[in-house]
Amino acid sequence: MPSRRARDGRKAPQRSRTRAPLRPTWRIRRATEDDIPGVLECLRAAFDPYRDQYTPIAFRATVLTPQSARQRIGSMVVFVAVDARGTVLGTVSARRGARGRGNLRGMAVRPSHQGTGLAPSLLDRALRHLARENCESVTLGTTAPLRRALRFYERNGFARTRRTLDFFGMPLAIYSRHLGPPRRPAAPTGSGRTPRTKA
């Protein structure tokens, strides 16, 4: 039960030196180049179960290499969820594209931390970043083997578009989601409640 400490901001909050709670905890922050080994490990751990369903080039492009990870950190904002020891438990990258469109790539959570709430927190952090960058919508691409990811994105407001790209020999389905308030005047009141869904 939380103690009733004064929270008027006069005292600097005292950091507890007690042991970490049993509940899994993590911190989400921007990655730096120092995180590259951890990001690569996390990607490999998350995507390894799907390796056989990927073309070799598509798999390599997904789990990145030290070089492509460095390029990604240079071209996108890469977020990492880390535990107290600095182990990367999850990652996602975000970038503002043309015409206020945001793009997400490389979402992955270590199997040990899937289904814990970490993935929604990471996604939320990336979406808030894109919203601050004035993105009105966000897209991402995903491949057919990643069924758990498809469910995750649909639960989080993404819908499949008609666009499919080629990802190193694999169809890449493009999902999209609205972000933030529309810039243009909305349709008259009472409309726009039923989103159109497509299988």
Name the site residues for ligand COA (rule: CB under 6 A). 46-47, 107-109, 114-115, 117, 119-120, 142, 146, 148-149, 151-152
Smallest gap from Cβ 140 to ligand COA, in A, equals: 6
Q: Are 91 and 108 in contact (CB under 8 A)?
A: yes
Q: Are 96 and 102 in contact (CB under 8 A)?
A: yes
What are 159's strand-pairing partners?
176
Q: Which residue, 47 or 73, is less far from ligand COA as judged by CB?
A: 47
Smallest gap from Cβ 117 to ligand COA, in A, equals: 6
Q: Which residue, 77 or 119, is less far from ligand COA as judged by CB?
A: 119
Q: Which residue, 100 or 141, is less far from ligand COA as judged by CB?
A: 141
Smallest gap from Cβ 33 to ligand COA, in A, equals: 22
Q: Which residue, 24 or 182, is less far from ligand COA as judged by CB?
A: 24
Smallest gap from Cβ 172 to ligand COA, in A, equals: 9
CA distance 176 to 170: 19
Q: Which residue, 109 or 170, is less far from ligand COA as judged by CB?
A: 109
Give the list of residues 6+ apart from residue 196 with CB closer than 8 angstroms, or none: 159
Which string of b and e fits 50-79 if b means at least 16 CB within 10 Å? beeebeeebbeebbbeeeebeebbeebbbb
Cα torsion 111, 56, 72, 76: sign: negative
Q: Which residue, 57 or 134, is less far from ligand COA as judged by CB?
A: 57
What are 199's strand-pairing partners?
none
Smallest gap from Cβ 74 to ligand COA, in A, equals: 21
* DSSP3 helix / strand / coil % (the chain, rounded to 5): 35, 25, 40
CA distance 110 to 177: 24
Smallest gap from Cβ 164 to ligand COA, in A, equals: 14
